[in-house]
Amino acid sequence: MSPGERSERTRNGYAKDWAVWSAFCAETGLPLSAVTSSSLVRFVEWLWTQPGWTDGTRTAPSTIDRRLAGTVVTARTEHGVTVERNVARDARRRLRQLVEQMEDSAETRGRGPWPW
């Protein structure tokens, strides 16, 4: 799907996701084009520590999952980065591990239950 075929809401969300990826890259010294399995795992771990929408919370797992999608799609379609198929698989696996730890500790994030 080309960027013009996406809804305005999706385009805006992906633009925000890319801005967050850009902040992560600036903080860690990675080039913006470093959309790799290992960098996305680091991105998930970094996002896990970032503030959430509500004061005193951290970023919700669903937001992290969407940021992965937005980053990968934007890298491919807007920036011409060649990204391997299933590049986010390990990052999503790491996110599931973090969610399991969160559930074991009774920590809450975001506005609702995690769909997994």
For residue 5, pLDDT over 90 is answered with: no
Band (pLDDT 50/70/90 cuts) for residue 53 is confident
The mean pLDDT value for 7-14 works out to 92
24-41, pLDDT tens digit by residue? 999 999 999 999 999 999
The mean pLDDT value for 57-72 works out to 93
For residue 98, pLDDT over 70 is answered with: yes
Domain boundaries, the chain: 7-105
Q: DSSP assignment of 68-98, as one string?
A: HHHHHHHHHHHH-----TTTTHHHHHHHHHH
Percent residues over pLDDT 90 in the chain: 72
The dihedral of CA 77, 79, 85, 89: what is its sign?
A: negative
Residue 44, judged by CB atoms within 10 A of its CB (0-12, 13-18, 19+), counts as buried
